[in-house]
Amino acid sequence: MKVSIITVGTELLFGQIINTNAAYLSKQLNLMGFDVMYHFVVGDNAKRLEEKLIDAYQDTNIAILTGGLGPTQDDITKEVVAEYMGAEMYMDERVKSDLIEFFSKRNRRMTDNNLKQTYLPIGCTPFYNATGTAPGFALEKDGKIAICFPGPPREMTWLFENGARQYLEHYADKKMYYKVLRTVGIGESDLETVLLPVIDGQTDPTIATYAKEGECALRIASQRTTIEDAKNAVDELIIDIDRYIGEYIYSYNNKEINDVVVDLLKEKNLKLSSAESATGGMFATTITDIPGSSSVFISSYVTYTPESKINDLGINGEVIQEKGVVSPEVAMDMAIAAINKSGSDIAVSITGYAGPDADEGHSPGEAYIGYVYGDRQGCIAVNTSRSLRDWNRRYFVLMMQKTVYLLLTDKMQ
C-alpha cells in the first residue's frame, strides 16, 4: 500500500528544524511493507495543507501527517483533515480528563486554549498520548486514510509505537521481518568485502550495512507473504553470516552496546565504575541510560581538571607533569584509582583531547583509555585525527564501552 508523509510546520520551511519525523516514519513504514512515495512539508496554513492533502491522495491511499495538533491558533492539521474528510468534531472525555490530570499533576494552570486538544473528528480512532497533551488519531473515509501525530518527535514516535503501528498492521499487504546485527571492531567496507560471498546475488533477504562512528550495523530484512516465511529466511541467512563475522557481532537484536554491557554485568554479577576526563560524564550517562543499571554501576569520577585528578583520584602530580595529563600513564592511574575508590570489579578510564583544539604537540581526537578487571589491566591509545568535538566524544565513549565489552567476553587481545 502506498503512503505519503505530510509534515506540517512553518519552522521546517524556515529551516529551523530538520525533518526527522519523516525519516523515522519512512523507515518504520518501509519495514512494515508499505511503499512511501512522497514527503511533503507545508507551513501552518489551512489552504496549502488541504492542497497537499489532495495531491497526496492522488496516488497514495494513506496520508500520515505530523505537527499542528497543539493548543495554539496556528495548529490547524486536525481541522483541515476533518473538514476534508467531512467529519464533525466531538469532545473526547478521556482526552479531557487526561489533560486535566496532566496539568494538575504538574501544579500548572491549564489555559483555555488547551481544550482545543480535546476535540477529535467523529468516527476517528484516537491514539491517546501518555507523553504530551495532544492526542493523535486515524480517520478513514472512502478508502482514504489520514493518520495524524503531534510534531514533537518523542510524542510522535511514542504514538506510532503505541497505537498507530497496530492500526497500520491491518493495511500492510506484505509482511516484513528483519534483524539488526551490531558489530564492533570491523569497518563497513571490510564488512562488505568479507560478506561478499553471502551478499552476492542476494535479493531476499536483503543485507544492508550502516556505519556509525566506530561501529557498524547490519540489517537483514525479508518481505514475504507471511511473517513466518520472512522470519525463517532471515534466521537462515544469519547462521550463514555468523560463519564469516561472528567474532565481531555483539548483538543479534539491535541492542546498543551499553545495553549489552549492562546485561553482561548483571549476568556475571559484576560492578562497574569509571573515571572520565575527555568524555565529561558521557560514558556514565550511556550506562545509566539503561533502566536497572544502578544494580551494576557504582560511580564515575568526572575529573575535568588536572587538580581534580590529583584531589579526587589521587593521581600523582609529578606523573601529570612528566607524562602530560593526556598520557597512557595518567589513564592507567585513573582506572586504578576508580576501581580502588569505588570497590567495583571492573573500571575504565579516559583522558584525551575532545577538540576542537589540543595542547601543543598533541592533536584533537587523541585519547588514552585505561582499564582494570581482576588481574588484567592495560591502556588503549585512540586517535580519530578529527577536530569535531561531538564526534570525538561519542567515539571515545564507544571505545570505552567496547573495552568493557571485550573484557567481559574474554575477547580482549
Q: Please name the residue ranges forming H helices in 93-246.
A: 93-105, 153-159, 165-169, 188-194, 196-199, 227-245
Which grid cell sits at 71? 493548543
Give least dist CB 122 to a copy of itself, A.
25
Q: Is the peptide bond before 205 cis (omega within 30 degrees of 0)?
A: yes
Give the position of cell 512511501: 36
Cα atoms in the 13 Å half-sphere on the side-chain side of 78: 27
The total of other beta-carbon atoms located within 10 Å of residue 227's CB is 12
Residues 364-403 that bind a copy of itself (CB under 8 A): 383-386, 388-391, 393
How many amino acids of this chain bind a copy of itself (CB under 8 A)? Answer: 106
User: Alpha-carbon distance 289 to 257, whole Å?
Assistant: 12
Residues 301-330 that bind a copy of itself (CB under 8 A): 301-305, 307-308, 311-312
- Exactly one of 77, 114, 157, 403 binds a copy of itself (CB under 8 A); that residue is 114
Burial label for 95, CB within 10 Å (0-12, 13-18, 19+), is buried
- Exactly one of 86, 106, 142, 361 binds a copy of itself (CB under 8 A); that residue is 106
28 versus 125: smaller Cβ distance to a copy of itself: 28
Of 65-73, 90-98, 367-375, 398-406, the window that binds a copy of itself (rule: CB under 8 A) is: 65-73
- Exactly one of 123, 126, 185, 281 binds a copy of itself (CB under 8 A); that residue is 281
- Exactly one of 123, 185, 280, 328 binds a copy of itself (CB under 8 A); that residue is 280
109 versus 243: smaller Cβ distance to a copy of itself: 109
Query: What is residue 354's three-state secondary structure?
Result: coil
Do 372 and 347 form a contact (C-beta atoms < 8 A)?
yes
Contacting residues for 291 by C-beta, under 8 A, at least 6 apart: none
Residues 75-104 that bind a copy of itself (CB under 8 A): none
Of 42-50, 241-249, 315-323, 368-376, the window that binds a copy of itself (rule: CB under 8 A) is: 42-50
Give least dist CB 20 to a copy of itself, A.
6
Residues 15-34 that bind a copy of itself (CB under 8 A): 15-20, 22-30
Give least dist CB 171 to a copy of itself, A.
18
Give least dist CB 396 to a copy of itself, A.
12
Q: Is 60 in the site for a copy of itself (CB under 8 A)?
A: no
User: Alpha-carbon distance 405 to 270, whole Å?
Assistant: 13
User: Alpha-carbon distance 172 to 205, whole Å?
Assistant: 18
The angle subtended at Cα 85 by Cα 79 and Cα 87, nearest 5°, is 65
Q: Identify the DSSP state of 149.
A: E
Of 84-92, 107-115, 120-128, 256-264, the window that binds a copy of itself (rule: CB under 8 A) is: 107-115
Give least dist CB 193 to a copy of itself, A.
5
Give least dist CB 404 to a copy of itself, A.
15
Contacting residues for 227 by C-beta, under 8 A, at least 6 apart: 175, 177
Residues 161-220 that bind a copy of itself (CB under 8 A): 178, 180, 187-190, 192-193, 208-213, 219
Of 64-72, 90-98, 139-147, 243-251, the window that binds a copy of itself (rule: CB under 8 A) is: 64-72
User: Alpha-carbon distance 30 to 41, whole Å?
Assistant: 19
Do 342 and 299 form a contact (C-beta atoms < 8 A)?
yes
- Exactly one of 94, 154, 376, 411 binds a copy of itself (CB under 8 A); that residue is 154
Specify the pairing of strand 346-352 against strand 366-373.
Answer: antiparallel
Burial label for 127, CB within 10 Å (0-12, 13-18, 19+), is buried
Give least dist CB 410 to a copy of itself, A.
25
- Residues 223-262, one symbol each (x = binds a copy of itself by CB under 8 A, - = not), give ----------------------------------------
Q: Is 37 in the site for a copy of itself (CB under 8 A)?
A: yes
